[in-house]
Copies of this chain bind each other. A is one copy, B any other.
Amino acid sequence: VREALSCPEVVLELFATAAALDRYGGLLADAPVSQISERAATGLSETVHPQGLVAVCRAVDVGLDEVFARGPRLVAVVVEPNDPGNLGTIVRTADAAGGDAVIVAGNGVDLYNGKAVRASAGSLFHLDVVVDADPLAVIAAARRAGLRALAATAAGKLALGDAPLAEPALWLFGNEARGLPPEVVAAADAAVHVPIYGRAESLNLSAAAAVCLYASATAHRSRSHA
């Protein structure tokens, strides 16, 4: 809620219990709040232990053109994600890694799913998000904007350390079970795998995204310091 309030014109309505008004009063000072009962807060929230504070927000997603017009250097695309926790965690990780945008492509879980929003820990309001994108259109737009499209896939030819990490990157991540569609891998500039040094078959989607996004973020910064 704090991160939503930090974005102009995002919060439409706020609801808070008496206890939440006491606890978060400073945060809410400039916003119109309706007081609600504990029972109503439980009804509005999807969690077992609600904090008693609910913000109704407008959708924050933007269009592809807007994302690429800003000259992004690090963008994550998640194609047909299945797990809202993974999707929200990737938004949080992309934000932490200094990413400019997260794009949800294909038919996947809703970015505004309560679990995805909570897993993003406020990062949903920190970077550009795009929903319902066509993955091939994303790759084309990214290429025009000077980004390398890197498909993260266990079968990728390049090991992560051999990928062109110093370049501005559009990272593409696939569904938890099926991975990326073959046509998306084929359209990318490179197919990249995170090396598996042990006996695990693969990494969890959000763990793989963390390793890839931080690899680019680190390489971007060592190039600029060199």
Contacts and interface: CB of A to CB of B under 8 A. Distances in A.
A93 interface: yes
A71 interface: no
A200 B95 contact: yes
Interface in A170-226: 194-204, 206-211, 214, 217-218, 221-222
Interface stretch (A33-41, A49-57, A122-130, A141-149): A122-130
Interface residues of A, number: 39
Contacts of A210: 203, 207-208, 210-211
B206 A96 contact: no
Interface of A: 85, 89, 92-99, 119, 121-123, 126-127, 161, 194-204, 206-211, 214, 217-218, 221-222
21 contacts: A89-B204, A92-B204, A93-B200, A93-B203, A95-B198, A96-B194, A96-B197, A98-B197, A98-B198, A121-B200, A121-B202, A121-B204, A122-B200, A123-B199, A127-B198, A195-B217, A197-B217, A204-B206, A207-B209, A210-B211, A211-B211
Nearest to A94: B198
Nearest to A98: B197
A92 B203 contact: yes
Contacts of A161: 218, 222
Nearest to A218: B161
Contacts of A204: 89, 92-93, 119, 121, 206
A214 B211 contact: yes
A207 B214 CA distance: 10
A124 to B, nearest CB: 11
A87 to B, nearest CB: 12
